[in-house]
Amino acid sequence: DTGVSQNPRHKITKRGQNVTFRCDPISEHNRLYWYRQTLGQGPEFLTYFQNEAQLEKSRLLSDRFSAERPKGSFSTLEIQRTEQGDSAMYLCASMQTSGLYEQYFGPGTRLTVT
């Protein structure tokens, strides 16, 4: 399967702990996006990469959040000192900037902070 993959699929953590999620995009895609989706809401943009460069971060992304995409391949999203408000589904999407404007989404990582 050459789709977008995300690991882990589920993460339960205690408040104050650090967590890291991984996203593996479709191999030829140069764009990678992170979104967050809470219950009853649509996904909200967090940040995106063009190859290895992080080009934009949403104001939703507090200083406790950091994302990387070393070598322009997979990406990681780390949340430090988790809070209960961080509980959400974290979605990754990738896209090739070929003019089709089609983002392909992974299955998401569901984070529960207790």
Partner 1 sequence: AQSVTQLDSQVPVFEEAPVELRCNYSSSVSVYLFWYVQYPNQGLQLLLKYLSGSTLVESINGFEAEFNKSQTSFHLRKPSVHISDTAEYFCAVSERNFGNEKLTFGTGTRLTIIP
Q: Is the Cβ of residue 14 or residue 28 nearer to partner 1 in the bound state?
A: 28
Return the beta strands (E) in the chain as ranges.
5-7, 10-13, 19-24, 31-37, 44-50, 53-57, 65-68, 75-79, 88-95, 104-105, 109-113
- CA nearest neighbour of 76 among 100, 49, 58: 49
Is 95 a binding residue for partner 1 by CB under 8 A? The answer is yes
**Shortest Å distance, C-beta 29 to partner 1:** 12
Q: Pick from 45, 66, 80, 87 the residue near partner 1 by CB under 8 A.
A: 45
Which of 21, 25, 33, 111 forms a contact with partner 1 (CB under 8 A)? Answer: 33
Does position 41 interact with partner 1 (CB under 8 A)? The reply is yes
Question: How many Å apart are CA 32 and CA 14, to the nearest integer?
Answer: 28
Tokens representing residue 34 in the block: 């992170």
Q: How far is the CB of 71 from partner 1 (least distance, A)?
A: 21
107 binds partner 1 (CB under 8 A): yes
| Residues 6+ away with beta carbon under 8 Å from 66 | 77, 78, 80
52 touches partner 1 by CB under 8 A: no
Which residues are at the interface with partner 1 (CB under 8 A)?
A: 4, 31, 33, 35, 40-45, 48, 55-56, 91, 93, 95, 97, 101-108
